[in-house]
């Protein structure tokens, strides 16, 4: 590491000293104008997973904007590392699927199916709910590029349409919906643990948890509380819905995973980060343990990063108590990033390691394949709220719990 730092420092100094014009030494002017990118290159040379493959930028490349300069250093295929400036990311708080008319009536038309609305967001305040079909924005029908408009921006007027069954024609048709006004997008802190409840499914007691990320200092404690409630309710099966779980901290992932694996594994590896140096994270001692309960995890293409590591490690650690995955293949976000704040008004988040699960197997960019592949959009005519027992995937999971197999 020391050798690499000395090399980087020597390279930057050599580049600066070469900046002469008509015999006039303009080194300090050059260093001042390129200080931000000099810092980026130095930090990337020290920390980036593929630092050994970094090429020395041309002198003029140091004059690019910091975000462009950072992007120019990334290895081919690196879609994980990212640049953050001081501007807060804003959102309307909608997760949606943009698609052509699913009924085939108006194939030139696009609709945005609302999949999830973040509590407290502009979309939630306006009254949008999962299962609604957005058909127009500010009076104009949607196009293939309307996704950006529904992500962030100024106040919006949106209209929806409903899908209903026409008894006369014996088919599903579009009908008039409602109009909503969304306030300008704002910075949103995504809630992690959104729902926990218990269902009576035949002779089984099924505990359901909806978890959308693994962030927050209080999250492990919230999971412990839910676990105690499940024990008090004599829950036999647990459904952990992580279809929209988009990552989080490795410390939270380890603490929550410890609830679902045998307590005897305390202190053994939960995960290994294979970077320039190997980092091993162990299972902490759980305050509550549910390792003897049958565990079903709902996944989707939004299940990414630390959520994938959590699933892989728990699956490898439960031994005789298997984990069954139902849903879609996960995102395949197998790299660990780390934030480095600059002395300027931005930070960089380069990939620093490949994540490996509790058995030492590295996660791959192909993602994790579920045991029972299911697409939640299989029945677009009936998109029920998450946690509703009529919701397509949860309904199938309950069938699996009772019958040991999926419906044919």
pLDDT over threshold 60, residue 11: no
Query: Where exactly are the structural domains of the chain?
Result: 2-68, 94-182, 193-403
CATH 2.40.50.100 given to domain 94-182:
no
- Which among 290, 333, 289 is positioned nearest to 308, based on CA atoms? 333
Tens digits of residue pLDDT in 344-357: 999 999 999 999 99
Tens digits of residue pLDDT in 358-393: 999 999 999 999 999 999 999 999 999 999 999 999
pLDDT over threshold 50, residue 335: yes
pTM over 0.85: yes
What totals of helices (H) and strands (E) does the chain contain, helices first? 9, 21
In the structure encoding, which two tokens stand for residue 16, read together?
Answer: 């600066």
Could you give the 3-state DSSP secondary structure of residue 357? Answer: coil
What pLDDT was estimated at residue 89? 87
Place of tokens 């990552």: 247
> Do residues 361 and 355 touch, judged by C-beta distance below 8 A?
no
Could you give the 3-state DSSP secondary structure of residue 106? Answer: coil
Tens digits of residue pLDDT in 148-198: 999 999 999 999 999 999 999 999 999 999 999 999 999 998 899 999 999
Superfamily in which the 193-403 domain is placed by CATH: 2-enoyl-CoA Hydratase; Chain A, domain 1 (3.90.226.10)
pLDDT over threshold 60, residue 311: yes
User: Dihedral of the CA atoms 326, 331, 333, 334 (nearest 10)?
Assistant: 40
Spell out the alpha helix ranges (H) of 165-301. 219-232, 250-260
Q: Name the pLDDT band for 10 (thresholds 50, 70, 90).
A: low
Identify any residues that bridge with 98 across adjacent strands, giving them in sequence order. Answer: 112
Q: What integer best gives the mean pLDDT of the chain?
A: 92
Tens digits of residue pLDDT in 16-34: 555 444 455 565 566 778 9
Rounded to an integer, the average pLDDT of 108-126 is 96
Strands (E), 276-394: 278-282, 294-299, 323-327, 335-337, 340-341, 346-349, 351-356, 372-373
Question: What is the rounded CA–CA span in Å between residue 219 and residue 191?
Answer: 10
Burial class of residue 216, CB neighbours in 10 A (0-12, 13-18, 19+): middle
């Amino acid at each position: 590491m020391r050798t690499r730092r000395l090399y980087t420092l020597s390279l930057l100094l050599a580049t600066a000293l070469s900046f002469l014009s008509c015999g006039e030494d303009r080194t300090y002017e050059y260093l001042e104008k390129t200080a931000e990118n000099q810092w980026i290159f130095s930090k990337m040379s020290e920390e980036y997973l593929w630092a050994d493959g970094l090429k020395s930028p041309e002198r003029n490349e140091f004059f690019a904007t910091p975000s462009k300069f950072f992007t120019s250093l990334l290895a081919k295929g690196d879609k994980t590392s990212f640049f953050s400036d001081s501007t807060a990311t804003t959102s309307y708080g909608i997760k949606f699927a943009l698609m052509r008319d699913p009924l085939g009536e108006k194939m030139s038309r696009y609709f945005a199916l609302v999949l999830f609305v973040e509590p407290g967001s502009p979309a939630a305040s306006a009254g949008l709910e999962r299962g609604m079909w957005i058909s127009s924005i500010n009076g104009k029908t949607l196009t293939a590029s309307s996704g950006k408009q529904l992500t962030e921006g100024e106040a919006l007027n949106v209209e929806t349409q409903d899908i209903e069954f026409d008894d006369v024609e014996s088919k599903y048709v579009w009908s008039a919906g409602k109009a909503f006004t969304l306030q300008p997008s704002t910075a949103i802190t995504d809630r992690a643990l959104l729902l926990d409840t218990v269902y009576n499914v035949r002779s089984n007691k099924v505990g359901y948890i909806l978890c959308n990320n693994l962030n927050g200092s209080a999250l492990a404690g919230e999971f412990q509380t839910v676990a105690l409630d499940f024990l008090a309710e004599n829950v036999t099966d647990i459904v952990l819905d992580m279809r929209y779980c988009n990552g989080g901290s490795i410390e939270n992932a380890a603490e929550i995973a410890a609830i679902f694996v045998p307590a005897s594994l305390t202190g053994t590896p939960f995960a290994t980060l294979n970077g320039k140096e190997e980092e091993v994270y162990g299972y902490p001692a759980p305050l509550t343990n549910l390792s003897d309960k049958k565990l079903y995890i709902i996944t989707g293409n939004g299940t990414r990063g630390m959520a994938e590591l959590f699933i892989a490690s728990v699956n490898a650690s439960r031994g005789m108590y298997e984990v069954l995955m139902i849903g879609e293949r996960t995102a395949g976000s197998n790299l660990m990033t780390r934030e480095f704040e600059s002395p300027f008004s931005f930070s960089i988040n380069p990939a620093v390691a490949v994540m490996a699960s509790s058995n030492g197997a590295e996660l791959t960019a192909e993602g994790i394949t579920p045991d029972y592949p299911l697409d939640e959009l299989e029945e677009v005519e009936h998109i029920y709220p998450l946690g509703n027992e009529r919701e397509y995937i949860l309904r199938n999971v309950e069938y699996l719990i009772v019958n040991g197999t999926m419906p044919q």
